[in-house]
Every structure is written in structure tokens, then in C-alpha cells.
Structure 1
Amino acid sequence: MVDYTDLTVSNKEENKFYKIGNCALKFSVKSKGGVAIGLASCPADDTIHWIVIGNRFSWIVQTNKIKTPGILSEHEYRPFWVSWYNNQIRLGVGGSSTPIAETTKFKDIKYLTFSTFKRNIVKFKLQLPLDLPDPVYKEIDTGKLKWVKMTNGVLPEGALIGGFENEILYIMRVMHESALTPGKYVPSEKAGFVAWGYRSHRKTEDIEILCGYDGIWKLLRPTIKKMSLPGAVQGGYKLVQSVSGINQEPLFVCRALDTTGVIPGSLKTLTKFCDYASEEKSQWSSTYEILTVLNPEE
């Protein structure tokens, strides 16, 4: 179950780096002065992509400053989000999916750090799947992927983050018509959504959530002529009619970049498109990431 983690930062402290496995962060801030969030490929990286939020101006490094008067408060928490995906860094406010600042050209982001200016003290509430202890860097050798049925609307332990759309999304699957199909699970709505027949279908019962850590997203592009999916995570199946009878076409777990965020969905190998649910519609993309296990030979 996702909780908010509290974090207090001052400029007197040395920057601490925290490893993060997803591509977005939703957080709230209480601060009188400016706030800075750094994105890096490793803790020793000389190039940190700083995102600055201030009551006069806000910006992402190497972009023009935008006027943001009164965007922060020392008396109440103000909500924001940051995403980094498909060579773009975006900064947004509250529940709006439209960023107030964005930039391109950055390295693979794997670590976060937090900072501030002068004598300011910043209080964060971070929406993350895990606590943020002092970082200990080691390889993950457990956490095989598995489907776990939800009970009483509570996310099972170890639920795998699948994307971001105003909030963190998880990977689910559910029966729809004659297919077991993957889709997105939205915690705030306590519901899952699957793309089928030009529509987004809301699901609240018999939902399974993908759990574990032994997976990696791999980018597929429309230039690929022959689809090769070693280690691809199968999320379900679709019944198809053929000359030999009715067969099961496998459906794999994918995710695509949409104007509203990064959304998990279902890959049909016959069409080679990633179908996903967004804004009450069934959408599709020919450029997407597919989830694979780290060690498919095992």
C-alpha cells in the first residue's frame, strides 16, 4: 500500500541520494523559500538535472524561468509532480497533467536528491512505494514477478509501479469478455481500467495486481520488423479463431507515453500495438516499453 513519506531538508546538510525505480514522483511541499530536486544517473554524477520551485520563478536546468508567484507556502503543503520519461523531464502542479516546465536531453535517471537555499528548511511528503532510509546500494536478487489477487480493495505488498497519471499507477489484469487482459490500476479510484473496443472499461472486482521487483522495461519502436520478446511478461490472453479452432493469443504487459502520463496496458503480438486506457477511451501506441524479467533463462 502506498504511503506518504515525510522528509525534512535544509541547506546545512550534505545532499543524500535515493535510488528510485520508477519514472515519476508525486510530492507535497511546505516551504517559505525555494526548493530544489536533483535527478542523476548515479550519486557521483557530475551532471545533476536540477528542478527548482520558487515563489518568484521556477525552472528546470537549462530552460527559461517561468513566473510562479505564491506557488509555495510555509503554512500548508502544496502538491507537485515530476516525471522523467522518453528523454523528457516535466514539472507539474497538483492534479493538472499539463506541465508548467519541461526539458529534454538527459541521462538515465536512477537517483533523486533534495536541497534548498540559504537558511531555508523544507518539509516534503513523498508518495513512494517504499520508505527512504539512508541509501544502501546493492543488487536486488529476490522479488520474482507474480500476480496477486486484491482483497478488500487493498494493494498487495510488493505491488510493482507501472506508470504515472496524476498519481502512481500499478499493473493489473482482469477478465473482460473472453479475454484476460492487463491494464492500469488507479489507487485513488480503487479501480482498474482496461482498453477494449475503442473504450476504457472500469473494473472493481476480481482484479489481480503484478507484484515483485525482478523486471525491467525495454523500449520497442515501430522500426522493428520482427518482434522478438525474450523474457516478456505475459499478462493474459485473448481468444482468437483460426483454421485449427479457437486459440489463445498471448497478451503482454506494456506501457506507453501519453499526453496524460505513462500508462500501462496490453500488447497484442498480432497488431504490435500497446493498447491502454486513457480519458475514458481505448488508446494505442506503436512506440512503447515492454516489461521483461531480468533473467529469462531461469
Structure 2
Amino acid sequence: MFELIGTPYKVCKVDNCGIRVKIKVNGFARPQAVFHLLAKKCPHVEVYKISLGRLIEIKSPEHEAIVQDFEGVDWSIVNEFFISWYGSIIRIGLVGNQNVLEFSQERNILKVIGFIKFMTIAEDSSSQICLSDWIFESPPEIPYLTRSVKIKNSKLYWKSLDGDKLPANAIIGGFQNEPIYIARAKHRGSLCPGKYIHSQRCAYVPWGYSEHRKDKFQILCGLNIRWVNCEGKNIPENAFIGGYSEVNNEPLYIGRAQYGSDLICGKVHVLYGTCYIPHNGCEVEYQSYEILVIPDIPQRSIQELQQCCVDC
């Protein structure tokens, strides 16, 4: 539990798509509490700015502000709010109150929310200074396990097949009578991770309960990866995004699961908490699976500074 009183702001890591906060705004005619949802890739990139007061206002750099009445809040006392963001939908409400603001818009998957910035000092539209006290519960930190060997210059990348020759450092994702490789291809508006079978010179992706053959595809290459156990929607912070879905450009991750004696790679859709693998003409579902992560990115920390858009 953290209490913010008297500091200008506080930036916190969030990776669970929601938070509950207690807020008190101190003694002004037009009280409001302001916080910012920031990009996972860089905490200096604002995805949304949200102001809570008599009106709730949600702003984003790419869209017009949405404003809704939110009366009946006594700002002289501590109020508990919930804020959730999942996919392209943001929900804000007062705990114990059925009046919930829901905001939906299409959002680029590169701007996945990973940080929240609480403002304790803010100005409203009439240039009045508002002071806010925040109390919020921090999610538990996942301990980072060190690796015995750190591989340098091993950033993951996608590469198309050049004739029959596999790209250098093509990543083996499993085994199905032979080693199979991690691939992705476009299908019905999505960029879908799947498998590449070298003996057949084609890739297969899972979509819509079926396995789909693809002759145009990319293969994932690199060295610095790790497979970790995963369950449902509990996606690790350092999971590698391998594509996007056809609806709202939701991120798709790379997963794999065992089918009989085969180990087959496919896609993980966090919306359903499921790993989908292509096998024998079908799309097979698993709620327990392995997911591909980048081991040099801590699971619960700010990303490395060179990835930031400004000089930290």
C-alpha cells in the first residue's frame, strides 16, 4: 500500500490492466484528481490523461476528449475508484456505485499501457491549483531470476524465407515429426503466429477453429529467448508480442503446448486467456501452456533506458 501526499507526482508500474485507488482532493471550488496512463514501451509517452471531478474527462493524443457527468462525489472525504483498461476499453467507476463510465476506441498495439502517473498537484481549466492525495495498492513484484549466460546483440526479428534456405538463427519452436519453427502470417485482418514445417515449405496458423496453410509468411529469428509456463490470462510482463488480432489490433503472443508426443507453437490471445495451436487441420485450445519471453527484460521493472523515447 502506497500513500502519496505532498509529492508532485508518482509513476508506478502496472501490468494487470486495472487498479483501485483512494483519492481525496483538498478544498477547492472545482476539485479534480488527474492521472495519466503511460505506454509500456516508454513511460514518457502518454496514452490517456484522465481527470476525475464533477465531470470525468478522458483525453488521448489521437482522439477527441470524452466527457461525462459524474456527480454525487464528496471530494472532501476519501473516495475509492476503480480504473480498468483492457484492449481498447477503459472503465472508471466509484466503488459501490453503479454509475460506470466506459470509453472505447481503437488503439495501436505499440501503445500498450504499462505505467500510471498519479498527479498530486494539477491545474484545472480555470487555472486553479488542485492538491490530491492518493492511496493505492501496489501489485506484487515478480522476482527476476538471473541467467548464467547473457547473449549480446541478439534482438529478435522476423525474416521471410529465401527460397528453401532457412534464415540464420531461425528459432525452433517445437517438434512435429521434425523440428518446427516459429512463424507468422496475415489472415483475415490479423497477423497470426503459428508454425513453419520445413519439409513442407509452408507455415500453418490457427484461426477460427481451423488450421490454415500459408505460403507467404515470416520466421522468427534470434537467440535470446526463454519459454516459461503460463496459465490463462496471466501473461508475463516480458512476453514477446508476435502479431495482432483482427479485432481492435489486440496483441498476440507466441505460445506452445504439447499435443500427444508433439510440441507445437501457435498464438496466445490474452482476451480469451488461451493458447491456440494449429494441428491436423484444427485449431486446438490450451489454457495451460508455455509462452515466449525475452529474458533480459525484467518482468516487473521499467524497460531499459535505450528503449525510451527521451534521454532519461
TM-score (norm 2): 0.47
Which of these two proteins has the greater Rg computed from alpha carbons? 2
TM-score (norm 1): 0.49
